[in-house]
Amino acid sequence: MNLKDLKIIVTGGAQGMGAHFAKRLHEAGAQVCAGDINEAGLAGLPQGIHRRKLNVADEADIVSFVAWAHGTMGGLNALVNNAGILRDGLLVKKDKETGQVKKLPTEQWNQVIAVNLTGATLMVREVVAKMVETNQRPGVIVNMSSLARHGNRGQSNYVAAKAALAANTVTWAREFGPFGIRVGAIAPGMIETPMTQGMNQKARDALVAAVPVNRIGVPEDIWLGVKFVLECDYFTGKTIDIDGGLSM
């Protein structure tokens, strides 16, 4: 699809990669609706980008947002499924000093799954349902997975969500193909965003040192992958790693 023909939702659009995607799409002539729980961040987006508060952990909010976006743009043919959070922690650990065994709080598990998997899945469901209801063809979905989907210490919740998104990219490509809707995924490695800036510094430094291209990625690196999935009409059902050669 041509970027200028897109009527696209970007979730997690207030900062980091989501804000970068929204800006680049807008610059390319697309109609963009950005959603995020961070209203102050949304307010900082360029004029011409439609924006509205969106909590992807709230099903009713997702349904309402998709309906609003469709009405605002006079149609809907694409989604960048980007919203995500981190609540890292070892599933089980033993305190070195006290010997006390500590477990990952269920709340931390549920928070990540609610946003990164359930919310992302419901976004796909509602966007695709709207496309099918309105006989919109073609359509395209870009899921944001992660290199961590292969497994990463201290991220059981995040890994589970991102691995499921990559697997369901294949599932959804097969399910939605008859409707003229493609589904692809991008799996970023270590990227400079507010989310990664909040990481433990020792863990962050170790990861950056392990990147073969000798630098942390930037949102523009990931945008190039997103752009490819959006534009290449012969691409579907696959996940592209954009990680500087990093292996976890």
Catalytic residues: 158
Give the type of residue at 154: G
Tokens representing residue 109 in the block: 């598990």
Is the Cβ–Cβ distance between 235 and 1 less than 8 Å? Answer: no
- 14-24 as b/e: b if 16+ CB within 10 A: bbbbbbbbbbb
Is the Cβ–Cβ distance between 105 and 29 less than 8 Å? Answer: no
Q: CB within 8 A of 129, min separation 6: which ones?
A: none
Site of tokens 């987006």: 45
Q: Residue 213: count other Cβ atoms within 10 Å of its Cβ.
A: 12
Burial-class residue 210 by CB neighbours within 10 Å (0-12, 13-18, 19+): middle
Measured distance CA(106)–CA(175) in Å, rounded: 32
